[in-house]
């Protein structure tokens, strides 16, 4: 039987000790993890009778007493990705109301139970407008989705807290921005304030522009944003460059605001260029601008 020399035995003991510590830490790392909870926020599922889709609805209600006119309400499309960010921005600014001048507002996120490709298909159907016989398969459900918002979701929110019917806004990004514009031009009384972040004006040969009646005069509040890096083609593959050429964001957004600004309008109209933001990051920067525009 070979007897270990003292240095070798000591090294073995240290190695076993570290091994035991590693196993212990690995086991600990696998335990005690739970779902992230947004304190004070709530959610529920709603299956729409209009769209036949199932939605995950998120809501954050101020802890303060409602004003005499009721709480303003901001509805967020793509709520699975926008709600938590907007909620935190809103809460942070409301903690300093004497400085910011912010009103307390209810934030409602409209998300999906579906995930991945199914979620993308669901939002494509809900957020795009019908264009007659040229409507692509799986698109063109914006009118039914607007019916859902107006006749199903809004009454549920209104039953929870006193709300201000003249101070309701909607935020949408990309296809969601396209939907916000469609709601504005087709049923303007649905909301008081519309925020279209990086709207997909390019969709179906700019069909949204053709839906605007001649001599249209804006009577609601409209904010359009776009990132200055959204259409940049540097260091992009030829495939991506081809897509960007067909799906321009920045200039069409500017052109739409200029067109609306050329007509008399009683609503507040604003375009904001988000410096160095691309299509993905512009959504989150736009949320802060949206809350300022809606609540100040």
The verdict on residue 206 lying in a domain is yes
What is the reported pLDDT for 238?
78
Q: Any long-range contacts for 154-161 (C-beta under 8 Å, 24+ apart)?
A: 156/46, 156/57, 157/59, 157/73, 157/106, 157/108, 160/59, 160/61, 161/61, 161/66, 161/70, 161/71, 161/106
Domain that includes residue 177, residue range? 37-295
Dihedral over Cα of 192, 195, 200, 205: its sign: positive
CA distance 131 to 145: 16
CATH code, domain carrying 67: 3.40.50.1820
What is the reported pLDDT for 107?
98
Where b means 16+ CB within 10 Å and e means fewer, 130-166 reads bbeeeeeeebbbbbbbbbbbbebbbeebeeeeebbee
What is the reported pLDDT for 237?
77
Instruction: Please list the active-site residues.
Output: 174, 230, 279
- Tell me the pTM: 0.88
What is the reported pLDDT for 197?
98
Say if CB 218 and CB 265 are below 8 A apart.
yes
Report the domain count for the chain.
1
The verdict on residue 29 lying in a domain is no
Kindly report the number of other CB atoms within 10 A of residue 13's CB atom. Answer: 11
The verdict on residue 127 lying in a domain is yes
Closest by Cα among 128, 170, 130 to 153: 170
What is the reported pLDDT for 32?
73
**What is the CA angle 69-43-108, rounded to 5?**
40
Mean pLDDT split into 10-residue runs, the chain, 296 residues: 59 62 65 80 97 98 93 98 96 81 92 96 98 95 98 98 97 98 97 98 95 91 96 72 82 96 95 95 97 94
CA distance 200 to 204: 10
What is the reported pLDDT for 21?
61
β-strand pairing of 193-197 with 106-112: unpaired
The verdict on residue 10 lying in a domain is no
CA distance 128 to 200: 9
The verdict on residue 24 lying in a domain is no
What is the reported pLDDT for 77?
98
The verdict on residue 11 lying in a domain is no
């Amino acid at each position: 039987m070979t007897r270990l020399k003292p240095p070798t035995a000591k090294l073995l003991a240290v190695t076993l000790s570290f091994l035991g510590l590693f196993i212990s830490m690995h086991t600990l790392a696998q335990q005690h993890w739970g779902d992230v909870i947004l304190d004070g926020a709530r959610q529920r599922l709603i299956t729409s009778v209009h769209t036949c889709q199932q939605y995950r609805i998120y809501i954050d209600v101020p802890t303060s007493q409602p004003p005499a006119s009721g709480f303003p309400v901001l509805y967020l499309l793509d709520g699975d990705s926008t709600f938590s960010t907007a909620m935190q921005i809103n809460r942070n600014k409301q903690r300093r109301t004497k400085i910011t001048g912010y009103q307390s507002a209810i934030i409602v996120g409209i998300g999906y139970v579906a995930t991945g490709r199914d979620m993308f298909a669901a939002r494509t159907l809900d957020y795009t407008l019908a264009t007659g016989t040229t409507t692509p398969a799986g698109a063109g459900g914006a009118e039914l989705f607007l019916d859902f918002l107006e006749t199903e979701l809004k009454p549920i929110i209104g039953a929870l807290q006193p709300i201000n019917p003249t101070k309701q806004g909607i935020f949408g990004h990309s296809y969601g921005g396209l939907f916000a514009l469609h709601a504005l031009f087709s049923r303007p009384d649905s909301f008081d304030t519309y925020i279209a972040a990086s709207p997909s004006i390019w969709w179906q040969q700019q069909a949204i522009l053709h839906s605007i009646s001649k001599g249209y005069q804006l009577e609601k509040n409209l904010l359009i944003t776009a990132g200055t890096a959204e259409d940049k083609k540097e260091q992009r593959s030829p495939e991506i460059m081809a897509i960007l050429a067909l799906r321009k964001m920045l200039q069409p957004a500017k052109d739409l605001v200029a067109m609306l600004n050329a007509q008399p309008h009683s609503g507040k109209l604003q375009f904001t260029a988000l410096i160095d933001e691309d299509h993905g990051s512009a959504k989150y920067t736009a949320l802060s601008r949206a809350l300022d525009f809606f609540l100040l």
